[in-house]
Every structure is written in C-alpha cells, then in structure tokens.
Chains A and B, each alone.
Chain A
Amino acid sequence: DSGVTQTPKHLITATGQRVTLRCSPRSGDLSVYWYQQSLDQGLQFLIQYYNGEERAKGNILERFSAQQFPDLHSELNLSSLELGDSALYFCASSVGAGSGTDTQYFGPGTRLTVL
C-alpha cells in the first residue's frame, strides 16, 4: 500500500459526460501528479500540482482539468468524454516540487470506461 488513495476504483459513463476523479496524497507529500495509462499510449504524464499550484503540464487535453485543494487532495475533471478517454488514471504523490529524485508513489488507479 503506497499510502496514496484514489476514488472511485471504477467508473463507467457515456460519451459526452463529465466525471471527477479524486486523489489523496500520502501524508506529508505536497506534490500530486496525474498520469493516464492506455494500451496505445502507455503511461503518460498529464499534470502536476505542488502545494495548490500547477507545477508542470504534459499531454493533457483541453477537455481535462485538475486542481489541488488546501488539504492537498486533488481532483481531475474530464469533460465531453470520448471513447478514446477510456483508460486507467493514476495519481502519484511526492514530498517535494521536483528535485529530480523525489520518489513518486502511485495510487491504485481509477479505471474509466466510456461507452
């Protein structure tokens, strides 16, 4: 158990809908990262927050957005869902903003299925 929690574990929804994925980082960790894992794209970095502020952005679609709250939990919002958005979404957390060697601890993931 990494100490990172994600809810829900599974999410099934229809095209065009909007969903929110939630992540609670390990106690003491200030950084939260979101990754998408799909069969064709592999594991891809989406976005990072550090202590409430956006720190780095990756291949995140404009239909997706995220935020980190004062209690450090984070939410990833996916809107106007398409079939291709079906994937595993992982949250990871680390202590710092990115010293380059900060270990990232991954949560168990949320499996999103768009029908």
Chain B
Amino acid sequence: QQQVKQSPQSLIVQKGGISIINCAYENTAFDYFPWYQQFPGKGPALLIAIRPDVSEKKEGRFTISFNKSAKQFSLHIMDSQPGDSATYFCAASNKAAGNKLTFGGGTRVLVKP
C-alpha cells in the first residue's frame, strides 16, 4: 500500500522557472511532512518540513503548501537553478508510531541553463 503518492516522476524546468512537486497521503494520522533532496551518490538531505497546523512554510526559494482537508502537500522551488537538479522526495511520519518516514516515489528535477 503506497501511503504517499508523489507526482510527477520527472520534471524539466528552465533556469529561473518554478518547479512544482505534489504529494498526496492517505493516513490521516501523519503529523509531520518533510521534503528531502538527494543528489546522485549521496544520501537524502532534509530540505524543508511542515506540520499540518500550518498551511504554508517558506525557506528561501523553497515553499511547502499544505492542504489538510485534501490530504495534499506540495513543494515549490522558485527561481530554479541548475544546482537544484536533484531527486526530491516527500515524506510523512506519525509521532505516535515513532519517527519512521514513509516516502513518496521521488521526482527527478532537471534545471536547464
């Protein structure tokens, strides 16, 4: 059972453009939603995270939008740069079940110069 669905699988955006990645979850007990960035040959690294009591969180060029009623959240990368080319994973966890992360399938983002 895939509890977190992520789309699109891949994305090509021009330098300076906006990258948008969407995730939907099924388990309403999830209460923490981080996004991870992974470069080839590296482990995932936390990019930004949100709790469901907040509808939006912005850190620099990265923004999470959260819609609790629709059970959806998204990552927006503004002014995309070639250095942002990586695979992005959304994830979710439930405090009551410990800290284990349930990941989406990943989105490979390519930013063209």
Closest to B95 in A: A100
> B89 touching A43 by the CB < 8 A rule?
yes
Contacts of A97 in B (CB 8 A): 98-99
> A99 touching B106 by the CB < 8 A rule?
no
**Other A-B pairs beyond A2-B43, A33-B99, A106-B45, 7, CB < 8 Å:** A2-B45, A42-B105, A45-B101, A90-B43, A94-B99, A97-B99, A99-B95
Whether B61 sits at the interface, judged by CB under 8 Å, is: no
Contacts of A99 in B (CB 8 A): 95, 99
Closest to A44 in B: B103
* Size of the chain A interface, CB-CB below 8 angstroms: 30
Given A42-B106, A43-B89, A43-B106, residue A102 in contact with residue B44 (CB < 8 A): no
Question: Which residues of chain A (71-102) have a CB below 8 Å from chain B?
Answer: 90, 92, 94, 96-102
- How near does chain A come to B107, taking the closest CB pair, in angstroms? 12
Whether A108 sits at the interface, judged by CB under 8 Å, is: yes
Whether A109 sits at the interface, judged by CB under 8 Å, is: yes
- How near does chain B come to A63, taking the closest CB pair, in angstroms? 20
> A45 touching B43 by the CB < 8 A rule?
no
Contacts of B45 in A (CB 8 A): 2, 105-106
Given A43-B89, A100-B93, A101-B51, residue A55 in contact with residue B98 (CB < 8 A): yes
Taken together as a complex, chains A and B put the C-alpha atoms of A96 and B99 apart, in Å, by 9
Whether A107 sits at the interface, judged by CB under 8 Å, is: yes
> A56 touching B42 by the CB < 8 A rule?
no
> A90 touching B98 by the CB < 8 A rule?
no
Whether B32 sits at the interface, judged by CB under 8 Å, is: yes
Contacts of A106 in B (CB 8 A): 36, 43-45
Question: Which residues of chain B (76-96) have a CB below 8 Å from chain A?
Answer: 89, 93-95
